[in-house]
């Protein structure tokens, strides 16, 4: 079992290009697993963790409802945003500058074979990271992601999640609002959930800007501890 995870920080990168790159890494792992089974080999499967920041984009999961996008094609263009239907779970979400997006592309057979546990660990890595900033947060029953004030009239989402898995290989991941322009969320019904707000770390801390590199390091620390993994830079 290979518990090494190769870290790649892609900087700012177009959503579609990143999605294609994810698919390439994902296919490489799946193909290797198929070959191992077919040829009775025990070749190690690699694991990856991508950090990226996307230009303004809205993405709709395979079970999502297009009516949760409140903009026409022309309005999208005017806002400098793009839109894609994609193959992860979940409904609609927004990605853009000031948001830390993480895509673990890992073979869960190197760690544990439990998708539910995988999602809870992703959430936990973010919860522990935010706790370091004095932010009380947690889960909202029946809804993925990380929330502040869950179960109250002031519930607000700070981190969205949506994953795809096949043959125990994962792709897609999480999007944590750190210094995000929350105005872009007004153009959608985030994750298809009406009447609940979205927030960002800088807003909750009452500061103009949070150091995103510092946040990434904290996420990696908690992710590697939870998965008992070694991050290879």
165 is in an annotated binding site: no
Q: Which residues pair with 100 in a beta bridge?
A: 176
138 is in an annotated binding site: no
Buried b / exposed e over 118-144, threshold 16 CB at 10 Å, is: bbebbbbbbbbbbeeeebebebbeebb
91 is in an annotated binding site: yes
38 is in an annotated binding site: no
174 is in an annotated binding site: yes
107 is in an annotated binding site: no
Which residues form the catalytic set? Answer: 191
Alpha helices in the chain (DSSP H): 15-39, 73-78, 115-131, 201-205, 212-227
* Ramachandran region, residue 108 (left: φ > 0; alpha: ψ -120 to 50; beta: rest): alpha
Q: What are the distances in angstroms from CA 41 to CA 24, 170, 225?
A: 22, 22, 29
103 is in an annotated binding site: no
Q: What are the distances in angstroms from CA 223 to CA 58, 88, 230, 233?
A: 26, 21, 10, 14
Query: Backbone phi, then psi, for 42, in 5-degree steps?
Result: -130, 50
230 is in an annotated binding site: no
161 is in an annotated binding site: yes
92 is in an annotated binding site: yes
- Binding-site annotation, residues for substrate: 88-95, 160-162, 173-175
- As annotated, the binding site includes 88-95, 160-162, 173-175
């Amino acid at each position: 079992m290979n518990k090494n995870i190769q870290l790649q920080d892609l900087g700012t990168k177009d959503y579609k290009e990143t999605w294609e790159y994810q698919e390439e890494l994902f296919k490489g792992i799946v193909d290797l697993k198929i070959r191992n089974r077919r040829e009775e080999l025990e070749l190690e499967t690699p694991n990856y963790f991508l950090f990226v920041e996307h230009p303004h984009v809205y993405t709709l999961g395979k079970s999502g409802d297009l009516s949760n996008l409140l903009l026409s094609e022309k309005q999208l263009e005017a806002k400098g945003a793009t839109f894609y239907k994609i193959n992860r779970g979940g409904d609609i979400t927004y990605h853009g500058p000031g948001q830390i997006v993480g895509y673990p592309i890992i073979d869960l057979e190197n760690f544990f074979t439990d998708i539910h546990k995988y999602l809870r660990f992703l959430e936990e890595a973010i919860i522990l990271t935010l706790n370091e900033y004095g932010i009380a947060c947690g889960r909202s029953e029946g809804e993925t992601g990380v929330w502040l004030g869950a179960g109250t009239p002031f519930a607000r989402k700070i981190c969205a999640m949506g994953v795809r898995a096949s043959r125990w290989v994962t792709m897609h991941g999480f999007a944590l609002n750190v210094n995000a322009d929350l105005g872009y969320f007004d153009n959608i019904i985030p994750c298809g959930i009406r009447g609940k707000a979205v927030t960002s770390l800088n807003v909750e801390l009452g500061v103009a800007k949070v150091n995103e590199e510092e946040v990434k390091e904290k996420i990696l620390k908690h992710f590697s501890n939870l998965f008992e993994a070694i991050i290879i830079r």
